[in-house]
Structure 1
């Protein structure tokens, strides 16, 4: 079999005891420039836990609560990934927040990136179209504070910074290309409340389009402490583009899947070695995943006729059930996968790579159960924005009262 190297040379392994970055970039929405900009190189039996709620807990800031008027402001989080563009707009509601608008579109920004090292003109055009929809929603909702982040595709692409600037000029959206560490921190912040109760160690993971983040956390406190983490440059898009799509005969498809499993397992090896003693501890280990892969497989497990976040978010399933679904999907043809509910044409060619990544995670962290989260980076951003803004308001009141 051919050997596959990671599509970039960036170091992604975490460090033991890595601290949360604590970084919060609060970008106020800016309308696009009036003058016509240059193109900058772009082309034209499971149990439920907490599922289905539109109010999502956010951190309770220390000190007095901000004014009633201030708490009615709208906040927004935009996550531009390798495969999807997602927006969430919410208002604080007591200790929670209530979603008032949302948007999600498959843009395939990272399509072909693993081979070319650049974002393609078609991918940038698709993404810009989605971001213009987001910009209109931000204007219409009169958003007070927004943070817009870009992840692996823009981190890796040679023309990523130029595309970010073009987006700013065309839409007014200021995208922050965040590090893999910040991506991991935000994912934990956004979904940790769905972690199954218990005393044992836990791993939270996020399978993206261009990368996968694995985070070992220590439970306790309002937010679990990050003990160790690793990011590898394999997501559903980058792994599929590099190893190849699972096509051809059944034997050929299974062989390609085995290649995917091998490639991912080799990249996970340093993290697997570090966490092995904790995986073998006497206490029950726990696992929580946030990604389109786990929510799609959970939908298939529940035999849903169409995707329903209320049924999936917070679900806890047997890990073996997810492995069984992965094995079944890896042997199917593209046409067979595309006809399954909750997969369709958008995910049919990428879901197998997600299965390979999930299987590899279960190899190194063999929890009997898997928690499923349809929340992550965007919710983490919203919590950060609201907590930081509330803290700033408290300091302002203290200064006025001094």
Structure 2
């Protein structure tokens, strides 16, 4: 049985078509569109009319792809931008009217649970507590877990699009703007830091586009981009991460667009993303830093296919 999952994110819409023979999730097709649903309205809790239009067109396109591939079930999941928007339910109704697809608007806890399920399909989480971090556009999910269970999870509205619109006003970013982001994170993430220290977390596992972008920049820098091909995980070198971060923080957008391994749509928000990641690495004195290439959409697909086969 094939399932299609549409992940309606704040910046990107993702389509995954997958099946699960032999208890292992196998992606059959993956499509990504940069819709920027939160653009211009995310910090006012609205979805702008032009963003709604882009979103509807993308979901219509994804439905055709899923139908053409003979998918049995289409599941659409909406996260931070839609759940916080005053007109989020209106957007979901428009999707239903245009495509017949019911959009499930999930809360932050459900989002974190799906991300855990996805990351667990991509990498061995091990026997000791680790911190999974998923940097979205609207929110960032933090999950303290091991391969058996989740100990603590929290979704916090410090996604890349929110930080970008609120703080990244200059290009290149000013040191004062970086310090303003860090001061904001001190307030917003104190509970995450506290809990992670309580669990003596030493490993950070990043899932989602921001971490994949960082991995692609590093592997291009090291002339080993093939390391990410056909792999669901990657181990970061902490020194290489710091080198990349230092190299890009002073670049303007025009220069960032030319960075090998970084797709142009990620270039505007990559700086705030690296500020957020560096904040967590330093606060927790992280010793091991890994990428899990599966996240929410894989977690949704895995859970659905498990229910069907059991």
Same fold flag (TM > 0.5): yes
Q: Which blocks of at least 5 consecutive residues in structure 1 are unaligned?
A: 1-72, 392-402
Q: Provide the C-alpha distance between the structure 1 equivalents of 2:10 and 2:306, rounded to a whole number of angstroms.
A: 28
- Given candidates 219, 236, 241, the residue that maps to 1:322 is 241
For residues 96-124 of structure 1, the C-alpha deviation after alignment (integer angstroms, 9 at most, x for no partner) is 23322221100000112234321011111
Residue pairs, 1:119-268, within 5 angstroms: 119-195=47-123, 198-219=126-147, 224-247=148-171, 253-268=174-189
> Is it true that 1:341 corresponds to 2:265 in the alignment?
no
Cα deviation for residue 263 of structure 1 reads 1.3
Give yes or no for contact 1:261–1:359 (8 Å, CA) kept in 2: no
* 1:118 corresponds to: 46
TM-score (norm 2): 0.92
Q: Provide the C-alpha distance between the structure 1 equivalents of 2:268 and 2:43, rounded to a whole number of angstroms.
A: 17
Q: Provide the C-alpha distance between the structure 1 equivalents of 2:126 and 2:95, rounded to a whole number of angstroms.
A: 44
* 1:108 corresponds to: 36
Give yes or no for contact 2:219–2:225 (8 Å, CA) kept in 1: no
RMSD between superposed Cα atoms in Å? 2.1
Give yes or no for contact 1:168–1:175 (8 Å, CA) kept in 2: yes
Give yes or no for contact 2:42–2:81 (8 Å, CA) kept in 1: no
Bigger CA radius of gyration: 1
Cα deviation for residue 196 of structure 1 reads 5.3
Cα deviation for residue 193 of structure 1 reads 4.2
Aligned pair in 2 of structure 1 residues 188, 91: CA closer, same or farther (>3 Å)?
same
* 2:286 corresponds to: 367
Give yes or no for contact 1:205–1:212 (8 Å, CA) kept in 2: yes
Q: Provide the C-alpha distance between the structure 2 equivalents of 1:198 and 1:381, rounded to a whole number of angstroms.
A: 22
Give yes or no for contact 1:190–1:379 (8 Å, CA) kept in 2: yes
The DSSP-based 3-state class of the residue aligned with 2:243 is helix
- Where do 4+ consecutive residues of structure 1 move more than 6 Å? 304-308
Residue pairs, 1:265-344, within 5 angstroms: 265-279=186-200, 285-303=202-220, 309-310=228-229, 313-344=232-263
The DSSP-based 3-state class of the residue aligned with 1:287 is strand
Cα deviation for residue 364 of structure 1 reads 3.2
Aligned pair in 2 of structure 1 residues 91, 77: CA closer, same or farther (>3 Å)?
same
Give yes or no for contact 1:212–1:231 (8 Å, CA) kept in 2: yes
Aligned pair in 2 of structure 1 residues 247, 121: CA closer, same or farther (>3 Å)?
same
Q: Provide the C-alpha distance between the structure 2 equivalents of 1:320 and 1:182, rounded to a whole number of angstroms.
A: 34
Cα deviation for residue 320 of structure 1 reads 3.4
Aligned pair in 2 of structure 1 residues 115, 182: CA closer, same or farther (>3 Å)?
closer
